[in-house]
Amino acid sequence: MFKISLPIRYLIKRPISYLAVGAVALCVFIVVVVMTVMNGLVQEFSDLNHGYVGDCVVVSDSLVGFAHYEKFMSELQKQPFIAAVTPVIKTFGLVGSDATRSSLGLEVVGIVPQMHQLVTNFENTLYYNKGDAKDVFVPPYDANLPGCVTGVDLMYRRMADGSYNYVPFASKLPITISCFALTPRGAVVQMGRSAAINTRTFYFCDTSNSGLARVDTDSIYLPLDAVQQMTAMSGENPRVSALLLKFSAGIKLDDGVQKTQAMWNNFVESEGQSELAFLFDSVRVQSWKSYRREVIAPMEKEQVMMAIAFIMVGFITVFIIFVIFYMIINQKSRDIGVLKSIGTSAGSLFAMFLGFACLIGLAGSAIGSLGAWALLENANRLERLLFDKFGWQVWDRSIYAIGEIPSDINPAVLSLIVCSAVLACFLGATVPVLRGVRRNCADVLRVNQL
Amino acid sequence: MVFLSIAAVALCCALLIVVASMFTGFIDAIGRGASDNLGDIVLEPPSELSVPDFRKFADMLEADANIASATGVLYSRGLLHLGKGDVKRVSIWGIEPAKRAEVTTMKQSLLRQKSQAEPPDFGNHSGELAGFIGIGLLQKPDEITDEYDLKKARDFIGSKVVLTTAAARKPFSREVPAPATYPMVISDIIFTGLTEIDQSVVYMRIEDLSSVLFPDSNEPLRADIIQIRCKPGVNPQNMVNTVWQIWRDYATGELGWSAALACGAEVMTAVQKQNDYIQELRKQLGMLMVIFGVVSTGVVLLVFCIFYMVVMTKMKDIATIRAVGASGWNVAGIFIIYGAIVGLTGAIAGLAVGYVLVVNVETLEEFVRVAFGLKLWSSSIYIFNKIPSEYDWLWAIKVFIAAIVASTLGAILPAIAAAKSRPVRILQYE
């Protein structure tokens, strides 16, 4: 019974315990806030990347792409684990309009919108055609003109609060796009004595706000067949840069990727003698995580570095617990002596004090978590208030492509932090408690020691 | 036990100083990178306009006793076909190589010409375009070491690539000119250590780029930006007004522009040009320091606990001191000074540890890479290929003072408890 009642009594009656609880609460509060924000940013960024590419990618390393993709697509579409497939061309183009004096070098993305929206989140990134990308390349002012979609940052300015200065209707803006025409071997197609550069004019239809800064400042979307013609990837054996895949519900990512890889290997084997089969050598099958690793990994790395920094600072909490337990054990040596003299084992005393440490850890974690929850719940409201009153933001939204401050506490992260706090309390308490419970009760209860 | 508080103070100080030094080093590197690549002062004409006959303007600037050199740059964008299936988008900078070498540190970044005595040039390539190409356009840095293969990059010198760019749109015309392609000889490789330049820039003669962008123009050369290097010892900030004055004289006098149009130009130091970004980074640094600072307030609690314990165990000594005539303030002073000394010792240790970590950060990062396979610094993410390793003395002093104040604060309550002790009660026989 004393194993339960004494820790509770110590926690309530000893003011020094409040200090330990306060130290734990402070640490937990800061770690929960920072890790929630960082975790939220990483998660949001990962989700945006997932939405941008789908579940799996069959992609060529070379700009010349690969052929026979239609045949492989039809094989994929027969599979129950595949929900949708879409072909994509990614190349570079020189983009000019009468709004700028000189041209810009951008990533040109050729897509089939009605297929693309089944695999990616493209339809939800649009402004004028939000929710349905089927007619996204049809200009509202003249359905006969060839249309294009630009990254939102190319067309509209991002304001300090993160919104864009959209206008209600897409204006008739001609955009001239030029691409190198490459042979399947990668050489520039020659026209007479000079290299061929294909130029076509498209008309602005919509903008795509994927939430990925590099994509939104750098990309222009065109109909797949138009890009195929401009890059000389059309003809008898049309080529694409990649196939994006969405797996059926319930299919695990790794399983889906493995099945796709196996199908691709069989396809390459069966098509090994076909024309342009050499282009298969540069094709890889990757999950979206692996495909976007280069952009997601740095954020994850920073999250890890921040966690390491907090672990270092967390040692101070261990020190505080150590000192507080040292004091408590010294002050409670009489209790220890009495308990030992009536037959309580050292192990029971050890367990009692560790229970006390656990209580401190739990109480501190509860207070810290509650404080963190209260702050995070109101973080965006608070930031808006600070912005309205003082023009201050956590991140300048005109510089960083970040929306709201993430405020959803991840239960897994919270559990990890609470467990770490309790563990820190155990660590801090162990040495003083061991020292205390090892003392001989006869020594402790001597008159001159009382 | 007191050593524990010294260790805690040292740990917090070291952490705060490492974070502050790295961040400040990064911010300084941005300013330095701007100055190295743009010169000390930059003049940009009003939007959509360029500086006509910029050489005449540069001569006027160079006539000032405090200006060492001035040069113009013409900008365009293009696509570069580097080999089979390898097309990159590029920023094309039309430059005067010899002048640019005076204004910026361009020459030190050229793989072939950096060690030669003569000013850099594009060489004679019998009428063909020649260019300096960023190393990042030719290869990716090694995934593990994040280093470029310089030998392999040098092999590209002399090889031919295909560049495409479009002529500039004529003023008041809505017609967008179609691009044309040009074979180009790689005359040298640029390796500045600044990712943005290394991965996207192609330098060519300003005359060549001008003839591509303005094929029908017979006017003297124009530039989109004027870059200026001040003489050694001259503060660029103090020269901004002088440059502005020379520009106004040139624009209104020589070019016949209205004063209002001339005033549309921007003159600022290269560092000021990065101001928005630098301010944002400073804000992030401040927030990070607040976060770590709040966590570090645990040190105050720790010092409090330790000193409280010391006071409780030394009550008899305190009572004896008071019994022989020391006042409560004298006793409190002992513990407050003790707290300050703990803070001082911890801060000195923390500053020393921080210094060692910051100065050896590259070695440390390499150790982490070899031992754990974790590459912490990547040039493609952090703009530079070198980790900032300058110790930030200003932050070190701030942290030093904060550590002593925090330790002293932690010692105040125990010191008051000691001061209020009653010697008669403590020293009574029972």
C-alpha–C-alpha distance, residues A206 and A440, integer Å: 82
Q: Count of CB atoms within 10 A of residue A212's CB?
A: 21
DSSP conformation letters of A286-316: EEHHHHTHHHHHHHHHHHHHHHHHHHHHHHH
Q: Residue A52 has what pLDDT?
A: 95
| Interface predicted TM-score (ipTM) over 0.85 | no
A358 contact partners, CB below 8 Å, separation of at least 6: A7, A422, A425, A426
Q: What is the mean pLDDT of residues A31-35?
A: 89
In order of A28, A295, B365, the CA distances from A258 in angstroms are: 41, 23, 35
Residue A282 lies in a domain: no
In order of A187, A343, A382, B155, B207, the CA distances from B128 in angstroms are: 20, 99, 61, 19, 13
pLDDT tens-digit map of A232-249: 898 888 999 999 999 999
Asked if A15 and A110 sit in the same domain, the reply is no
Helices (H) and strands (E) in chain B, counts: 18, 9
Asked if A114 and A197 sit in the same domain, the reply is yes
pLDDT tens-digit map of B13-54: 998 899 899 889 888 888 888 888 899 999 999 877 889 999
C-alpha–C-alpha distance, residues B83 and B155, integer Å: 14
- The sign of the torsion formed by the CA atoms of B37, B39, B45, B47 equals positive
pLDDT tens-digit map of B285-302: 888 888 888 877 777 888
Q: How many residues can be counted in chain B?
A: 430
C-alpha–C-alpha distance, residues A196 and A231, integer Å: 10
Going by pLDDT thresholds of 50, 70 and 90, the confidence category of residue A274 is confident
Residue A29 lies in a domain: yes
According to the per-residue pLDDT averaged within each range, which of A224-233, B2-11, B414-423 is highest? Answer: A224-233
Asked if A120 and A41 sit in the same domain, the reply is no
Closest residue, chain B, to A26 (C-alpha)? B295
B415 contact partners, CB below 8 Å, separation of at least 6: B307, B311, B331, B332, B333, B334, B335, B336, B339
pLDDT tens-digit map of B339-394: 899 999 999 999 999 999 999 988 888 888 888 877 777 766 676 777 888 899 99
A-chain residues near B164 (CB < 8 A): 94, 178, 180, 195, 197
pLDDT above 90 (res A161): no
Q: Do B84 and A187 touch (CB under 8 A)?
A: yes
pLDDT above 60 (res A444): yes
The amino acid at residue A44 is E
pLDDT above 70 (res A1): no
pTM of the model: 0.81
A-chain residues near B47 (CB < 8 A): none
Asked if A234 and A126 sit in the same domain, the reply is yes
Q: What are phi and psi of A211, to 5 degrees?
A: 85, -5
* Nearest Cα residue to B192 out of B25, B379, B28: B379
Residue A288 lies in a domain: no
B-chain residues near A23 (CB < 8 A): 298, 301-302
pLDDT tens-digit map of A415-435: 999 999 899 888 888 888 888
A-chain residues near B285 (CB < 8 A): none
Residue A265 lies in a domain: yes
Q: Count of CB atoms within 10 A of residue A154's CB?
A: 21
CA distance A269 to chain B (A): 24
Q: Which domain holds residue A15?
A: 2-46+296-449
Residue A54 lies in a domain: no
C-alpha–C-alpha distance, residues B427 and B430, integer Å: 8
- For chain B, percent of residues with pLDDT exceeding 90: 43
pLDDT above 70 (res A195): no
| Number of structural domains found in chain A | 2
B412 contact partners, CB below 8 Å, separation of at least 6: B336, B339
Asked if A164 and A260 sit in the same domain, the reply is yes
Domain boundary among A255, A270, A285: A270
Going by pLDDT thresholds of 50, 70 and 90, the confidence category of residue B176 is low
pLDDT above 60 (res B430): no
* Nearest Cα residue to B81 out of B155, B158, B159: B159
Q: Do A322 and B164 touch (CB under 8 A)?
A: no
Q: At what angle do helices B298-313 and B2-38 cross, to 10 degrees?
A: 160
pLDDT tens-digit map of B85-101: 888 999 999 999 999 99
Asked if A157 and A188 sit in the same domain, the reply is yes
pLDDT above 80 (res B423): no
Confirm or reject contact between A26 and chain B (CB < 8 A): yes
Is the distance from CB of A297 to CB of A404 less than 8 angstroms?
Answer: no
C-alpha–C-alpha distance, residues B217 and B230, integer Å: 32
Asked if A358 and A413 sit in the same domain, the reply is yes
Asked if A266 and A300 sit in the same domain, the reply is no
Q: Residue A448 has what pLDDT?
A: 58
Q: How many residues can be counted in chain A?
A: 450
Residue A24 lies in a domain: yes
Return the bridge partners of A148, or none. A204
Q: Do B168 and A185 touch (CB under 8 A)?
A: no
